[in-house]
Amino acid sequence: METVVESTAPRDAQRSGAALKKDAGSGGTLRDRSSKLVLFQDLLASLRAPGFWLYGAWIDTSLRFRSQALGAFWMVASTLVFVLMIGTLYSRVLRNSSEIYYAHIATGFVLWAFIQGSLQESTRIYFRNRSMIQNGYVKYVDYVLRMVGGNLINLAYTVLVAIGAVLITPVLVTSVDFVLLLTVPLFMLAVLGMCYSLSVVGARYPDIAQTSQTILRLFFFITPIIWMPTSSGRGAAIGAFMYANPFYYLVEIIRGPLVYSTIPWFEIGIVAAAIPVIWLVAALVYARAKPYVPLWI
């Protein structure tokens, strides 16, 4: 019996060692794969426990307007003044006599304000929360969710202006509006994915905040917000700028059904195809940079 045990022990040890090496190799591969998905893991955990970022977004909005008589309705007032003043001015400058021009500019400006605010703030979001990050709160996705949540609250107020403009202009309310149940989530996914990429890039390169501000200011004028694209303009140079502009697609997938009662299938397809790419880039950048964010800020 002793001889049998001695003869089989080395072979058992070799088999066990080979099994351990195989498990270790597969485990390392799984760890590599899971590390690339850390953005989605962190995001899922934050969505399951939204207390910090959801309540924080509401507190940020409340504190911003707590000493003012109208409170958050100042956002409605400022947006309304902009739409009335710019709409009246540019309708004469551009000789635009369209009856739905105010609905066009109100909807476009409200959506643009959300896009611009979210992208610009994301470039500085980790610097603004430096003390919390350096004190050990390293759930970085919460800071972006808190910022986007606050901008969504702002959007909920300012969208009243867009709704009012739609109601006072001869915009038809049809079954086409139900496509917004698809396009609004696509809009939010695209903006949120870009925010996560810019938050990491902004932490690594602080100058990106000023650069993004300049770029977004330029895109405001080449995006059809205060001007309306015409059939002749689409084929001209301005049409090339419009279709090369990624923000045009984000605005159009919501404004098209809401204001023009049309389903922009081409624009919806472009946004839907871009979302996986946007989130893939965000996941890779986030996974690569997560250990270094406290050092960068």
What does the pLDDT look like over 79-134, one tens digit per residue? Answer: 888 888 888 887 777 777 678 888 999 999 999 999 999 999 999 999 998 888 88
Answer whether residue 11 shows pLDDT above 70.
no
Instruction: State the distance between the two ends of the chain, measured CA to CA, in whole angstroms.
Output: 67
Rounded Cα–Cα distance for residues 154 and 143 (Å): 17
- Check residue 222 and give its pLDDT: 87
Predicted pLDDT at 65:
75
Contact 228, 96 (CB under 8 A): yes
Q: What is the DSSP string of 95-150?
A: T---TTHHHHHHHHHHHHHHHHHHHHHHTTHHHHTHHHHHTT---HHHHHHHHHHH
- pLDDT in the model for residue 69: 62
CB 285 within 8 A of CB 197: yes
pLDDT given for residue 68 in this prediction: 67
Lookup result for tokens 């995006």: 223
Give this prediction's pTM. 0.83
Mean pLDDT, the chain, as a whole number?
Answer: 82
The answer, yes or no, to whether residue 51 has pLDDT greater than 70, is: yes
| Span 121-174, pLDDT tens digits | 999 999 998 888 888 777 889 999 999 999 999 999 999 999 888 888 888 778
Share of the chain above pLDDT 70, in %: 81
Domain ranges, ordered by start, for the chain: 50-296
Contact 215, 194 (CB under 8 A): no
